[in-house]
């Protein structure tokens, strides 16, 4: 990516040292852009894989696909990688490429303002910096969402959000409750069913469960991956996996597609054939289309919830009391430990940071109705400000590493122009943004995400906040920016 004819010593600041921030740092240093820094609010790298350490944490993307394209890993233990291995992979990669040298830990950016042709940044600690280019790699799932349940603070047992798991709390033989049944809740139930004395899973809305196997790689397989780079590359780009990703994501854009019908049939068969008790089976049966919410992949949740120690609680929660959860039917579920698998405020992105664009334009005002960005990357009135895995980008059961790499490739066109002195400021035009948003909103309503369920994919008006077109279209758009959609000032 380096441009050897560069004439400007530009400064680049990256927000966040998660997957996308580490990627940005690697590519900046490879291009010879050493006048750069990554600001990280925590004390170490990793993003969501740093934050989440709960029992059973596993990625639902095949391990070899969940790696940087340029940094394969021959040593994954399972087909679906455990969270601790993913965190270790990012830590090792950060050190290998020297990115650790440019990260400023415990520095949360609270203000980022464009004035005088540059971005002026300030951290909570009072550190100030200036940059020609800002890359926001703040991620999506990092602002904790706590449930609004009366009496939550009155519970006398151990209580914590699953992204703040307290590993000092014993679990074996204890009475454990889990509120929330997205991927996190499902994985925790699978992990704790054999361990807890009694395990209660509080379900508000049933979930479709896609069956999946998670075999371990043998020592012989890992040795073969280490010995054969071509084999390792093949594992990163398995044709069957890539074809399934393409088919799955192309199906999402049409709630009535054949692909969605096949997904629904597979999930339905999983429910019908795995859950023996007809009463439990009906409690677990969703009343919305499969993939309307982010599809949950699990090899053993249905088996876990049928464990003698486990109970699915589908009666509504009235309140928390010192001894446990009081249900609306009057029953008190007594607990020693309560885990809140209630997710994140996904629409925050870099907020509550105060981001101010050209002429005092406030990000909070621009996003008053919903977060939005042209091609999910940039916004009018915010010159030289780019986002990775920002609003309206592709989401789903596939590798966001691949998405971030494609987005950074797109952004690099502008980094090279700015670095070469071909321009000083670049941002999408208002006309391009309005046309993109108009078309996106119309297409979003036809996706399976808009087919009639509540999920974290929806904005405040109930419209899917995701990329609403095919993956193929996204890949084509990311090959090169449409320069006519940008205001480029010299």
Task: Using the predicted structure, report yes or no on whether residue 3 has a pLDDT greater than 70.
Answer: no
- Give yes or no for a contact between 49 and 86, defined as CB atoms under 8 angstroms apart: yes
Structure confidence by residue, pLDDT tens digits, 123-179: 999 999 999 999 999 998 889 999 999 999 999 999 999 999 999 999 999 999 999
Per-residue confidence (pLDDT) for residue 5, from 0 to 100: 54
Residues 359 and 446 in one domain: yes
Per-residue confidence (pLDDT) for residue 126, from 0 to 100: 98
Number of separate domains in the chain: 2
115 part of a folded domain = yes
Beta bridge pairs of residue 199: 176, 310
**Euclidean distance between CA atoms 380 and 435, whole angstroms:** 13
Mean pLDDT of the chain: 96
We report the CATH number of the domain holding residue 431 as 3.50.50.60
Regarding predicted confidence, which is higher, 242 or 39?
Answer: 39
User: Could you tell me the two tokens for 172?
Assistant: 């074996």
Q: In terms of residue numbers, what domain contains 157?
A: 152-208+256-291+293-340
Residues 72 and 204 in one domain: no
Residues 156 and 174 in one domain: yes
Per-residue confidence (pLDDT) for residue 8, from 0 to 100: 87
pLDDT band of 347, cuts 50, 70, 90: confident
Regarding predicted confidence, which is higher, 242 or 383?
Answer: 383
**Euclidean distance between CA atoms 469 and 143, whole angstroms:** 27
Indicate left, alpha or beta for 400 from its phi (over 0: left) and psi (-120 to 50: alpha): alpha
Q: Which among 471, 420, 405 is positioned nearest to 3, based on CA atoms?
A: 420
Residues 87 and 74 in one domain: yes
Average pLDDT over residues 301-317: 98
- Give yes or no for a contact between 266 and 251, defined as CB atoms under 8 angstroms apart: no
Residues 315 and 449 in one domain: no
Residues 262 and 171 in one domain: yes
Instruction: Pick the last residue of a domain from 324, 340, 356.
Output: 340
């Amino acid at each position: 990516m380096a441009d050897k004819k560069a004439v400007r010593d530009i400064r680049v600041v990256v927000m966040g040292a998660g997957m996308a921030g580490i990627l940005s740092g690697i590519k900046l240093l490879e291009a010879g852009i050493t006048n750069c820094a990554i600001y990280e609010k925590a004390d170490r790298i990793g993003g969501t894989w740093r934050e989440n350490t709960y029992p059973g944490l596993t990625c639902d993307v095949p391990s070899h696909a969940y790696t940087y394209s340029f940094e394969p890993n021959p040593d994954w233990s399972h087909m679906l990688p455990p969270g601790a291995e993913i965190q270790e992979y990012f830590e090792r990669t950060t050190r290998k490429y020297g990115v650790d040298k440019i990260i400023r830990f415990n520095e949360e950016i609270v203000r980022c303002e464009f004035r005088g042709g540059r971005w002026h940044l300030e951290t909570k600690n009072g550190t100030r910096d200036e940059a020609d280019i800002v890359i926001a790699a703040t991620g999506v799932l990092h602002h904790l969402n706590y449930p609004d349940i009366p009496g939550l603070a009155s519970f006398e047992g151990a209580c914590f959000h699953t992204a703040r798991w307290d590993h000092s709390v014993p679990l074996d033989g204890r009475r454990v409750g889990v509120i929330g049944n997205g991927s996190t809740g499902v994985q925790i139930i699978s992990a704790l069913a054999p361990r807890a004395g009694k395990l209660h899973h509080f379900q508000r809305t049933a979930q479709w469960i896609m069956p999946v196997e998670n075999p371990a790689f043998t020592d012989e397989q890992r040795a073969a991956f280490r010995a054969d780079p071509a084999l390792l590359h093949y594992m990163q780009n398995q044709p069957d996996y890539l074809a399934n990703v393409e088919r799955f994501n192309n199906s999402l854009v049409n709630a009535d597609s054949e692909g969605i019908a096949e997904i629904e049939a597979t999930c339905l068969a999983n429910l019908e054939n795995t859950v023996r008790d007809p009463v439990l089976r009906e409690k677990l049966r969703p009343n919305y289309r499969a993939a309307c919410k982010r599809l949950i992949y699990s090899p053993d949740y249905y088996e876990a919830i049928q464990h003698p120690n486990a109970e699915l609680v589908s009666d509504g929660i009235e309140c928390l009391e010192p001894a446990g959860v009081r249900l609306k039917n009057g029953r008190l579920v007594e607990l020693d430990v309560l885990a809140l698998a209630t997710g994140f405020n996904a629409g925050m992105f870099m907020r509550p940071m105060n981001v101010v664009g050209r002429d005092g334009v406030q990000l909070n005002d621009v996003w008053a109705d919903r977060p939005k960005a042209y091609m999910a990357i940039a916004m009018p009135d915010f010159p030289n400000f780019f986002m990775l895995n920002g609003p309206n980008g592709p989401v789903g059961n596939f590798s966001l590493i691949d998405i971030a790499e494609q987005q950074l490739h797109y952004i690099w066109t502008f980094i090279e122009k700015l670095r070469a002195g071909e321009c000083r400021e670049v941002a999408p035009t208002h006309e391009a943004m309005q046309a993109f948003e108009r078309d996106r909103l119309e297409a979003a309503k036809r996706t399976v995400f808009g087919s009639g369920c509540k999920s974290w994919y929806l904005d405040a008006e109930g419209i899917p906040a995701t990329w609403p077109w095919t993956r193929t279209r996204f890949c084509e758009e990311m090959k090169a920016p449409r320069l006519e959609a940008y205001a480029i000032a010299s």
